[in-house]
A = this chain, B = another copy of it.
Amino acid sequence: MPKKQIPPNRPVYPTPAALITSVDEDGTPNILTLGEVFNISIAEPVILGIAIRQSRHSHTLISQTREFVVNLPTAAIADKVWYCGSVSGRDVDKFAESGLTPLPASEVKAPLIAECPVNIECKVTGIQVVGDHDLFLGEGMVQHVDEEVFATGGRIDVEKLDGFAFVGGEFWTFGRRI
């Protein structure tokens, strides 16, 4: 198969779409849409990574409070995910404008998003510059999962998640198990 050389540009996919919640020092929450979250350390401890541009409002909030929540959205709220990625929390209250519902977390001040079936509370363990983004590492403290997405036996049923991925600038549903 002949191959063509091109400059790489966000070359790897599919990656998990996510809504990242955080709060300012007064407790006012914000929502950041990301096209991916990284599982870096798998078990002991669980450490997730998120890459945020320095210009983003959530960069300021998470740098100050050193806490965030990763919320995995459903295809049913894809329009709200786009919306939260199209405006700045400096200008609008994204919870009020999107209609998404904040729920109290158990170990951090940032809220869970009720409409997201998976929520992972994280405490920041490090922030570093990596090229045009800053990489935030966060220890996963506790995961909340909607009771209705568990299959018999206690495993999460992926099909019940109604999740989606970020692929080449677009949102794509999960496909089928190979």
Contacts and interface: CB of A to CB of B under 8 A. Distances in A.
A135 B40 contact: yes
A146 B46 contact: no
Contacts of A167: 158, 174, 177
A119 interface: yes
Interface in A88-144: 103, 106, 112, 114, 117-120, 130-133, 135, 137, 140-144
Contacts of A44: 131-132
Interface residues of A, number: 78
Given A3-B119, A158-B167, A133 B41 contact: yes
Contacts of A117: 1
Interface of A is mostly: strand
Given A46-B8, A144-B5, A174-B165, A39 B15 contact: yes
A85 interface: no
Interface of A: 1-16, 18, 35-49, 51, 70, 72, 75, 78, 103, 106, 112, 114, 117-120, 130-133, 135, 137, 140-148, 150, 155-156, 158, 163-165, 167-168, 170-178
Nearest to A167: B158
B1 A147 contact: yes
A41 B131 CA distance: 5
In order of increasing CB-CB distance, the 5 nearest A-B pairs are: A41-B131, A173-B175, A8-B140, A175-B175, A8-B143
